[in-house]
Structure 1
Amino acid sequence: MPHRPASKPAAFLFHIGALLFLLALGYAFFAPPRNAPPLTYFGVGGDPLSFIWFLNWWPFAAQHHLPLFHTSYVSAPFGQNLAWRTGVIGLALLAAPFTLKFGALAVYNTLMLAAPGLSGWGAYLAAYELTADAPASLAAGLVFGFSNYMLGHLLGHLNLSLTFAIPFCLWACIAAAKHGWSTRRLALLLGLALAFEFGVSQELYATLLIFGALAAATLYALHPPARAALARLLPGVSLGIGASLVILSPLIWQMLRGYAGGSHSVAAPADFSVDLLGFILPTPITWLGGHWLAPLTNKFGGNTAEDGNYLSLPLLLLLVHIARTHRAAPAVRVLAGFAALACLLALGPYVHVLGAEISTAPWLPASVLPFLKSMLPARFMLYAWLAIALLLACWLAAPGRKPPRYALLAACLVFILPARGYERNWTRLPIPAVFTNGAIPPGSRILILPENQVEMGYQYAAGLRFSLAAQGYLGTGAPARLARWPLYRALFVQKYQAALPRINPPMLAAFLAQYGVQTVVVTGDFAPGHTPA
């Protein structure tokens, strides 16, 4: 029998208890260091600093009556259109009261610590609605919230880690089908959830619509009795998408105005696709074998943060066993098929083995289409992990002896535990005194050399007292007009910065004059490379 709480109040308390447990687990594992310096953030590289900057920017711009979607504080004098950046405006607006009181750094760290727990709780709710089994649903929350996908993006991608809205949308659809919700109720919940997700990550909003349609198609094909329920849900889902677009219309208008306004992208779908061997070979963030196999897995495309497809051979075999022995169960059949489809698409336009292309893959036609070509296929593993978590919940909740199943799952999950030391994933950024002691006059336009993706942290620590001339890392890409300069690579691309001392002085003088640079600050520190967010 399913382990369902006896009453609605008991179920509510169990749901809240599950949330608190998942949040506490995330905090216990990733707790911040004691006596940390003033600018200590969760993650590595420059991506976290761009999110801290954005969390600060939206309330700062509103307070100072500045344009919300365009700033000259970076890439001065022409600035950047922020509508196409990973600006997490939905999070920033909700968190604005806390940002104004505690600062963007504290808000960012709190959101990152809460991300695995909140995302896991979303999967828990969807699994509970599907199985009516509380322990099995909690296991699903653990698998999804602390999956290899999540652990990778916790290295610094706030927009890709806080994924609660995605399983929440699934929960709403399952609940609407089971309990006969009205079209209006479903549309309202989906509209709000989708609008929030767009405000966290436009990329995940788009992929949610794509994979939502693929999930519906999988259900339609593999479980014909569900077709009537899909037809009943269609009006509510369609209206929900429409409602989200209405809510988002000011932001979408700004995006359309800025489209083709020009960024030079540094990410390509073929480079950020999962490796075929990545499903069974652990990466350095994995405890068992991650360090030993690093010489092999370092050949994977992209980087460690994006290699979210490691399932481990034991877990993969368990999933195959479940799909074969429980295929008579519609939920298992559909979830297994959808998980396999998501994994297939995550391979990207080409199949890679240890970084080498061996054949084309199904995503190839989509990878050249407008908008779709900007999606990074490795991130499709989010949907595979969600389906896997729900599949495991269905298996745990099925009739039969449950203790051996939980023991077997626990043994498999040992193979995907994060590496020792991963919990100390905190970066301390020393702030040179020149940025905070008043040596740079307010309103100055400065250039920081060498470029190392931490200039946003310096500007944030200085209270946005100065603007950054022709620089400012706010996610992937650089303004196209800047990237056309011959000395762009030597100034702003780390692997070419050895050529910095050999830059032609007249060309550098012309560059400084072109962008009205008043002060050049030379620092001696270099930070690790970044990951496109």
Structure 2
Amino acid sequence: MYYLADYLLGRKSSAFVAGIIFTFCPFHFAHGLGHLQLIAMEWIPLYGLYLLKTRQEDSKRNIVLTALFLVLNSLCSWYYMIYCFVLTIIFVIFQAVKHKKEIIDNGFLKRLSMAIFIFNVVMSPILIPMLYVKVTQDFTGEHNPEIWSADLESFFIPSGISTWGRKWFSRIWKDWTGNTAENSNYLGYIVFMLSIYAVVKDRRCHFWAVAGLIFFVMALGPYPHIGGKQFSIPLPYFLFHRYIPFFSFTGVPERFDIMLKLCMSVLAGYGITNLNEIILSTFKNKIRSKSTTTMRWGTATIKIVFTGILAVLTCFEYSAIPYVTTKIEVSSFYRQMATDPKNYGVIDIPSQPVTLYMATIHQKSLVEIMCPGLL
């Protein structure tokens, strides 16, 4: 996230806070409770970075890296693959509206097509069988999107993963559908205000505002939920889930929240940059008569203090202390099985997420297994 923000802002202090926001957002901590593939979200901003570079620069290296980071996102989660494609579509449409002639003349669409082609070649051994099964067979579906939709309140009230949510807001978040891991969408009021300020003050961030708004609406699912109650007002996700091929893989719409957090991290970075410039300008006007050395030290101090305060306040607002952990006790039977030279399959009854961990102990094949990328 830091590299993406630094590329856009050209301000390392602002990029640092943007990285803090994305890394310590509630989504990250909430899914650490069990969805390990979803906490591997570091490839998303890197894909965004090289998508932008592919737009701006005629470089084969950028094409390859765009494809690489799309592959890495896909290997972590099919959700992230679809989200990256949605981000790409939004980006292309936004650029076409603003710079129609330019994106054709500078070869951006050609370079993007090459990146997607490379991605398809690399992922085809996995995608082709999966898509064939999807087309030829009926899936019962593990997740009902009407249940796993983000509650509107969850963006403005800390959930059960939050230090403050557990302490003060349990009467509110306990009514939300889904569970704590999936409904930890809290934006944070510091980040929210910085983002609003950026949208008002800086036209450069409008793409991220548009993308963030789209991802916010998608996270709400097929019908809006407020306070745990569903309202029969169809939202865009309803149409996408029903009519867009393979979009039904995203049965948990509230996971779109990670893309909203990506956009808001960038927006907050723009907000910090603009505020920094105002503060520094005021400071320089007041000490204009001072020496150059004094101005440099003063400017550096203000940047460090301002950045540090925002970083600390953000971490404080996103606090998830104490963090819930589980002590895993390994049965002696599994350790005994590991010493058995025979090769056979194992069925765990009941099958639980810890089954995969136990397989790393006994080193035998599992008869039943859930691919992490499909969770």
TM-score using structure 1 length:
0.59
Aligned match of 1:21: none
**Deviation readout 1:310-330 (Å, 9 max, x if unpaired):** 013454344323322x0xx32
Confirm or deny that 1:341 pairs with 2:214.
yes
Aligned match of 1:436: 335
Aligned match of 2:102: 228
SS of the residue aligned with 2:168? coil
Confirm or deny that 1:320 pairs with 2:220.
no
User: Quick one: structure 1 residues 231 and 344, their matched pair in 2 at CA, closer, same or farther if it must change by over 3 Å?
Assistant: farther
User: Quick one: structure 1 residues 162 and 234, their matched pair in 2 at CA, closer, same or farther if it must change by over 3 Å?
Assistant: same
1:201 partner letter: S
Q: 1:473-484, aligned counterparts within 5 Å? A: 473-475=370-372
Correspondent of 2:6 among 108, 128, 134: 128
1:330 partner letter: R
Indicate conservation of the 8 Å contact 2:194/2:272, yes or no: no
Query: 2-side partners of 1:411 and 1:196: how far apart?
Result: 31
Q: CA deviation at 1:146?
A: 1.5
Aligned match of 2:23: 145
Correspondent of 2:240 among 343, 366, 371: 366
Confirm or deny that 1:421 pairs with 2:322.
yes
**Deviation readout 1:379-412 (Å, 9 max, x if unpaired):** 1112111111111112222332155964774475
User: Quick one: structure 1 residues 450 and 318, their matched pair in 2 at CA, closer, same or farther if it must change by over 3 Å?
Assistant: same
Confirm or deny that 1:217 pairs with 2:107.
no
Confirm or deny that 1:196 pairs with 2:196.
no
Aligned match of 2:358: 458
Aligned match of 2:294: none
2:240 partner letter: A
1:285 partner letter: I
Q: 1:39-50, aligned counterparts within 5 Å? A: none
**Deviation readout 1:204-260 (Å, 9 max, x if unpaired):** 112211122113323544xx2586247632111111011110112222233245435
Confirm or deny that 1:181 pairs with 2:55.
no
Aligned match of 1:91: none
Q: 1:43-192, aligned counterparts within 5 Å? A: 123-178=1-56, 180-182=57-59, 184-192=60-68
Indicate conservation of the 8 Å contact 1:436/1:461, yes or no: yes
Indicate conservation of the 8 Å contact 1:130/1:174, yes or no: no
Correspondent of 2:172 among 275, 296, 299: 296
User: Alignment RMSD, CA only?
Assistant: 2.9
User: Quick one: structure 1 residues 149 and 436, their matched pair in 2 at CA, closer, same or farther if it must change by over 3 Å?
Assistant: same
Q: CA deviation at 1:262?
A: 6.2
Indicate conservation of the 8 Å contact 1:129/1:175, yes or no: no
Query: 2-side partners of 1:231 and 1:409: how far apart?
Result: 41
Aligned match of 1:86: none
SS of the residue aligned with 1:435? helix
Aligned match of 2:290: none
Aligned match of 2:230: 357
Q: 1:519-530, aligned counterparts within 5 Å? A: none
Query: 2-side partners of 1:445 and 1:414: how far apart?
Result: 45
Query: 2-side partners of 1:357 and 1:332: how far apart?
Result: 33
Query: 2-side partners of 1:278 and 1:400: how far apart?
Result: 33
Query: 1-side partners of 2:81 and 2:366: how far apart?
Result: 31
**Deviation readout 1:60-94 (Å, 9 max, x if unpaired):** xxxxxxxxxxxxxxxxxxxxxxxxxxxxxxxxxxx
SS of the residue aligned with 1:161? coil
TM-score using structure 2 length:
0.81
Aligned match of 1:95: none
Q: CA deviation at 1:194?
A: 1.6
Q: CA deviation at 1:444?
A: 5.0
Query: 2-side partners of 1:226 and 1:139: how far apart?
Result: 33
In structure 1, runs of 5+ residues without a counterpart are: 1-122, 477-531
Query: 2-side partners of 1:245 and 1:448: how far apart?
Result: 36
SS of the residue aligned with 2:326? strand
Query: 2-side partners of 1:140 and 1:365: how far apart?
Result: 33
Indicate conservation of the 8 Å contact 2:151/2:224, yes or no: yes
Indicate conservation of the 8 Å contact 2:54/2:63, yes or no: no
The size of the alignment, in residue pairs, is: 344
Percent of aligned pairs with the same amino acid: 21
Q: CA deviation at 1:165?
A: 2.4
Q: CA deviation at 1:289?
A: 3.5
**Deviation readout 1:165-213 (Å, 9 max, x if unpaired):** 22112212333444x323x333222122222222222221122111221
Indicate conservation of the 8 Å contact 1:435/1:458, yes or no: yes
Q: 1:247-262, aligned counterparts within 5 Å? A: 247-259=122-134, 260=136
In structure 2, runs of 5+ residues without a counterpart are: 281-301
Query: 2-side partners of 1:176 and 1:447: how far apart?
Result: 47
Query: 2-side partners of 1:451 and 1:177: how far apart?
Result: 46
Which of the two has greater helix per residue? 2
Which of the two has greater strand per residue? 1
Query: 2-side partners of 1:161 and 1:453: how far apart?
Result: 16
SS of the residue aligned with 2:166? coil
**Deviation readout 1:72-121 (Å, 9 max, x if unpaired):** xxxxxxxxxxxxxxxxxxxxxxxxxxxxxxxxxxxxxxxxxxxxxxxxxx
Correspondent of 1:396 among 257, 272, 281: 272
1:200 partner letter: C
User: Quick one: structure 1 residues 306 and 215, their matched pair in 2 at CA, closer, same or farther if it must change by over 3 Å?
Assistant: farther
Indicate conservation of the 8 Å contact 1:315/1:412, yes or no: no
Query: 1-side partners of 2:139 and 2:335: how far apart?
Result: 31
